Amino acid sequence: MAAVKDAAWRESYASLLRDAVLAGLQEPRPHTVAAWADAMRDGAFFWVATDGTEVVGIAHATWSRDADAPMPLELAMLYVLDRVQGTGLAQALLHTAIGDADASLWVLDGNERA
């Protein structure tokens, strides 16, 4: 899952983030893996989509982390690899993660696709 997140960042944010940030995403970061493992032990859910052999998308929803959040549910992450964009996979992950609920989403300025 962390490898897909990092790959999606490299694919999606190349024009939005400094090269030094993207260069640090060559392998799944151990602190990301550890934080997600802790979250899952505490009951968090992460949804994963595969192409049959490897993970190509991930989603995670949680209670909003900001005290002034516009609603209680937050779509904390939704990433799919470039090669599966436009297939409906992101929509399926979104529906699986939040269903018909309203949710907030933090979006990087300039990320028009999101």
Q: What average pLDDT score do residues 9-16 get? A: 72
Return the pLDDT at 43. 82
Return the minimum-mean-pLDDT range out of 2-16, 51-65, 82-96.
2-16
> How confident is the model at residue 2, as a pLDDT?
81
The residue that leads in pLDDT, 49 or 44, is 49
Comparing C-alpha atoms, which of 83, 24, 32 is closest to residue 60? 32
Q: Is the pLDDT of residue 100 over 90?
A: yes
pLDDT of 19 above 90: no
Q: What is the mean pLDDT of residues 27-37?
A: 77
Q: Stretch 78-95: mean pLDDT, rounded?
A: 94
**Which DSSP category does 104 fall into?**
B
Give the pLDDT band of residue 48 (cuts 50, 70, 90).
very high
Query: In b/e form, how buried is each residue of 26-63, taking b as 16+ CB within 10 angstroms?
Result: eebeeeeeeebeeeeeeeeeebebeeeeebbbbbbbbe
Our CA angle for 82, 23, 94, nearest 5°, is 35
Burial class (CB in 10 A: 0-12, 13-18, 19+), 20: exposed
Q: For the whole model, what pTM was predicted?
A: 0.80
Per DSSP, the three-state class of 24 is: coil
